[in-house]
Amino acid sequence: MPVTAPDLLKSCKLLPLPLRGDERGSLVPVEAGRQVPFDIRRVYTVFATKPGVLRGFHAHLATEQMAIAVAGGCTMILDDGLERRSVRLDRPDLALTIPPMIWHEMEDFTPDCVLMVLADAFYDEADYIRDYRRFLDVAGERRR
Ligand code: TYD
């Protein structure tokens, strides 16, 4: 069951991940087709982000992603072309899905933040929209 976040965009989901803990500590499994709603083709991490840095500022034409703050935290700003919402990712047992055509920006990284991102496609710059006006145009066309 997705976690409800009143401010989240409808097409993005916050999914709780299984937290396996015992007296030794904690473990969170993340499995394709189970917790992850797609086949994973790529994993990348964003870390050592300098104070005050803003990242992202793009949308993907087709790539779907899932982001997990495995350490520390950051704020994800999500925009579908109609609405803009932000959500704080700051625990390793919480995943945010970012479907295609969601403009996203990241800010307020804690110094220890390690953001792990799972993607259903290999890195391909041609899949990026990095211009916000173009994003609004494509989003509008797709809504028609
Ligand atoms: P960039 O898209 O600027 O990161 P962010 O969205 O967090 O602002 O990516 C930084 C650099 O890393 C850029 O040169 C592209 C490269 N990159 C890869 O080579 N593979 C990847 O999977 C990703 C996400 C980025």
Predicted pLDDT at 4:
65
58 is catalytic: yes
Residue with CA nearest ligand 1 atom 23: 123
CA of 34 to the centre of ligand 1 (A): 26
Nearest atom, ligand 1, residue 55 CA = 8
Tell me the residue type at 136. L
For residue 144, give the 3-state DSSP assignment. Answer: coil
Are the beta carbons of 127 and 63 closer than 8 angstroms?
yes
Predicted pLDDT at 56:
98
CA of 36 to the centre of ligand 1 (A): 21
Residue ranges in the chain whose pLDDT is less than 70: 1-6
C-alpha span between 45 and 5 (Å, rounded): 24
Predicted pLDDT at 7:
74
- Mean pLDDT (the chain) is 96
Strands 25-27 and 114-119: unpaired
Given the residues 13, 58, 85, 91, select the one marked as catalytic.
58
128 contacts: CB under 8 Å, gap ≥ 6:
58, 59, 60, 61
Are the beta carbons of 96 and 67 closer than 8 angstroms?
yes
State the maximum Cα–Cα separation within the chain, in Å, rounded to a whole number: 54
The single-letter DSSP state of residue 50 is: P
Predicted pLDDT at 1:
65
CA of 94 to the centre of ligand 1 (A): 23
Confirm whether pTM is higher than 0.75: yes
Nearest 10 degrees: Cα torsion 27, 29, 30, 34: -150
Ligand 1 pocket by Cβ (under 6 Å):
42, 44, 46, 55-56, 58, 123
Distance of CA 140 to the CA centre of its chain: 22
Predicted pLDDT at 137:
98
**For 2-6, which contacts have Cβ atoms below 8 Å and span 24 or more sequence positions?**
3/94, 5/87
Radius of gyration of the chain measured on its C-alpha atoms: 15
Predicted pLDDT at 72:
98
